[in-house]
Amino acid sequence: MCLIVFAWRPGHELPLIVAANRDEFYARPTQPLAEWEDAPGVHAGRDLEAGGTWLGIGPRGRFAALTNIRDPQQPQGLRSRGELVAAYLGGELEVDAYLDQVASKRSEYSGFNLLAGDSHCLAYLSAREGTPRRLQTGVYGLSNAGLDTPWPKLLKARAGLQDALPNSDPQRLLELLADTDQAPETALPQTGVGLSTERLLSSVFISSQNYGTRASTVLIVDAQGRRRLLERSFGPFGGHLGEVTIEA
């Protein structure tokens, strides 16, 4: 997952709204959004190479999502980051206890940002910072650096979500996730991947032959805890592969 914008508004009629794009190599095998047979109540896409996921919902109002930290110089972890989302969704630990546990073993993974929450709270952990923190009411963005790092794609998508509030239409959120405009060279971050790659990765929706946006996901949670999860899947050059909607 490479871009997540979300509104966390406890007490609102729609306390959680999430719009996210997962970017990955097209060759990596993936299962579309579905309930997991080996984890009843968990609804998520699945990375079939390592078994984890990038975003999903679980029993008791659980929600979690993950982005990688982009840094070619960082040490490679021995374990898959996708298991961090899967373990929370299917687990029993409360949010704070779970993130404390993850923080204590974060060196086992390549750099990551992790969101985890339920109907009562939403919290964030950066592998670089190592200290979980609960999030206050607000509209946030998370890409491949820290929370709300002002990369052009994050600023654009977060502003689009803000404009869509207070009652977001799922199709409008999917449209903002489909933005293929690349940032001007002067606005690109410098993360060590080279100018052409920085340019490719600067759009909200990434499209190329080998790597790009594999899934666009919208999650809307209402005050009664009802959750609507929509996922569109894509192939090379943004070819549309399918759409799944789940209400839980």
DSSP 84-139: HHHHHHT----HHHHHHHHHHTGGGBSSEEEEEE-SS-EEEEETTT---EEPPSEE
What pLDDT is stored for residue 39 in this prediction?
95
Band (pLDDT 50/70/90 cuts) for residue 168 is: confident
What pLDDT is stored for residue 167 in this prediction?
82
Instruction: Give the count of domains, the chain.
Output: 1
What pLDDT is stored for residue 153 in this prediction?
98
Which strand (E) or helix (H) includes residue 16?
strand 16-25
Q: How far is CA 181 from the centre of its chain?
A: 20
The CATH number covering residue 183 comes to 3.60.60.10
Could you give the CA distance from residue 54 to residue 135 in angstroms, rounded to a whole number? 20
How many CA atoms lie within 13 Å of 89's alpha carbon, on the beta-carbon side? Answer: 29
Pairing status of strand 43-47 against strand 3-8: unpaired
Three-state SS sequence of 42-73 = CEEEEECCCCCCCEEEECCCEEEEEEECCCCC
Tell me: the pLDDT tens digits for 11-53?
999 999 999 999 999 999 999 999 999 999 999 999 999 999 9
Q: Give the range of the structural domain holding residue 54, as residue numbers without chain letter.
A: 3-247
If we measure between CA atoms, which residue out of 81, 40, 85, 36 comes closest to residue 59? 40
Tell me: the pLDDT tens digits for 97-145?
999 999 999 999 999 999 999 999 999 999 999 999 999 999 999 999 9
Pairing status of strand 240-247 against strand 227-234: antiparallel
Mean pLDDT along residues 182-195: 94
If we measure between CA atoms, which residue out of 144, 36, 133 comes closest to residue 87? 36
